[in-house]
Amino acid sequence: MERIVVGMSGGVDSSVTAMLLQKQGYDVVGVFMKNWDEKDENGVCTSTSDWQDVQDVCAILGIPCYAVNFEKEYQDRVFSYFLSEYRLGRTPNPDVLCNREIKFKAFLDFAMKLGAGRMATGHFVRSEQRDGHPVLLRGVDGNKDQSYFLYMLKEAQLAKAVFPVGGMTKQQVRALAGEAGLPVSDKKDSTGVCFIGERNFRTFLQNYLPLKPGDMRTEDGRKVGAHMGLAYYTLGQRKGLGIGGGGNGHSWFVVEKDMANNVLVVAQGEDSPRLFSRYALASQATWIAEEPPAPEGEPFRCTVKYRYRQPDQNATACVRGDRLTLAADDPQRAVTPGQSAVLYRGDVCLGGAIVEQTANEPFSL
């Protein structure tokens, strides 16, 4: 009987994942990963309650469960990168790195040491063999698809992973949990960055990055306010700027972070031309199939998502080494350095890269 180790978070998705695999006759072991040790804004250590939920679910299913501590790996491989990116004024996506470095590397290694043939998670994605190679597919539930966060995986990792809830809707997952009497069937989904959770983002960040206030200015240099530190803002941001209407009465938006002069540049109106760009230059390109979708320097068509919830955007891409250029068919709003540009062909996730620059003129590689 093949052993499958399930990464269990205490949520409904991973709980149903374990239940489904057990029903399919696998030798299932639940493992809770502790990656972060800090109380939330109410003074509650959420990992303690999540671990209790894992134990309760495993007791009902009659499967063994363990807890493993990856706090050091998380600090070294994910959180240090997160802080360094914010210091540079960029907007990183630590969840992407967490999947590559922790869940599908440190945890996968741990699962193999437990004698597992494969590991499983509650991600809303699918994987299947095509022409002898594993491919990553979007989850059936378009509102919950998480392939965006897994684009850094490789074929070797996919070959060792299963995603039992990827072919289901969230509603179906909750219904199964309720029918089985699992205590997490109605548990609220976690939101936000994994180690910040529901807490105020700025308050959290202030614990690690010193405030460096400066001027908030218009594109023509007129001072309209003050900012608390460029790291605390992102392109396209409207809320939290602390400046009234003025001017034409429209809301203000962040259109640039001038790191050299510590100036936050703002403009009025959500359709400000400064917020839009057609072209992006990205680095650290990584492909699930190891090789890029087309030979170096040869343009290819795809769709791209610059943000998790963004609808697919039609684009032409070109790769050279680990660098990638993207030319979107339509202007894109507030594409931000540090974000992940994830590429697709239909339901297949190809891979992606980290945005470095945007422009309204083509980049050359």
275-359 fold: Elongation Factor Tu (Ef-tu); domain 3 (2.40.30)
Contact 288, 158 (CB under 8 A): yes
> In this predicted model, what pLDDT tens digit does every residue of 81-120 receive, in sequence order?
999 999 999 999 999 999 999 999 999 999 999 999 999 9
Average pLDDT of the chain is 92
Containing 137, the helix (H) or strand (E) segment is: strand 133-138
Adjacency order of strands within the sheet including 65-69:
65-69, 27-34, 3-7, 118-120, 161-162
Q: Which residue in 65, 54, 62 sits closest to 183, CA to CA?
A: 54
> In this predicted model, what pLDDT tens digit does every residue of 264-320 receive, in sequence order?
999 999 889 999 999 999 999 999 998 999 999 999 999 999 999 999 999 999 999
Residue 235: other Cβ atoms inside 10 A: 22
Candidates 45, 58, 65, 194; catalytic one:
194
Distance CA(10)–CA(107), nearest Å, equals: 16
All CATH 2.40.30.10 domain ranges in the chain, comma separated: 275-359
CATH of the domain spanning 212-270 = 2.30.30.280
The CA–CA distances, whole Å, from 161 to 116, 169, 340, 345, 347 equal 11, 20, 23, 21, 18
The structure tokens listed for 239 are 């809320």
CA–centroid distance for 125 within its chain = 13
Q: Which residue in 332, 362, 345, 330 sits closest to 287, CA to CA?
A: 345
Residues paired with 69 in a beta bridge: 34
Identity of the residue numbered 124: F
The structure tokens listed for 317 are 């891409």
Q: What residue has token string 């509102």? A: 143
Q: How confident is the model at residue 243 (pLDDT cuts 50, 70, 90)?
A: confident
All CATH 3.40.50.620 domain ranges in the chain, comma separated: 3-179
45: annotated active-site residue: no
Domain 3-179 sits in CATH 3.40.50.620: yes
Contact 70, 36 (CB under 8 A): no
Contact 149, 161 (CB under 8 A): no
All CATH 2.30.30.280 domain ranges in the chain, comma separated: 212-270
Rounded mean pLDDT, 53-76 = 95
Contact 182, 55 (CB under 8 A): no
302: annotated active-site residue: no
Q: How confident is the model at residue 197 (pLDDT cuts 50, 70, 90)?
A: low
Phi, psi of 76 (to 5 degrees): -70, -40
CA–centroid distance for 102 within its chain = 13
pLDDT for 42 beyond 80 = no
Distance CA(101)–CA(107), nearest Å, equals: 9
Candidates 58, 65, 98, 318; catalytic one:
98
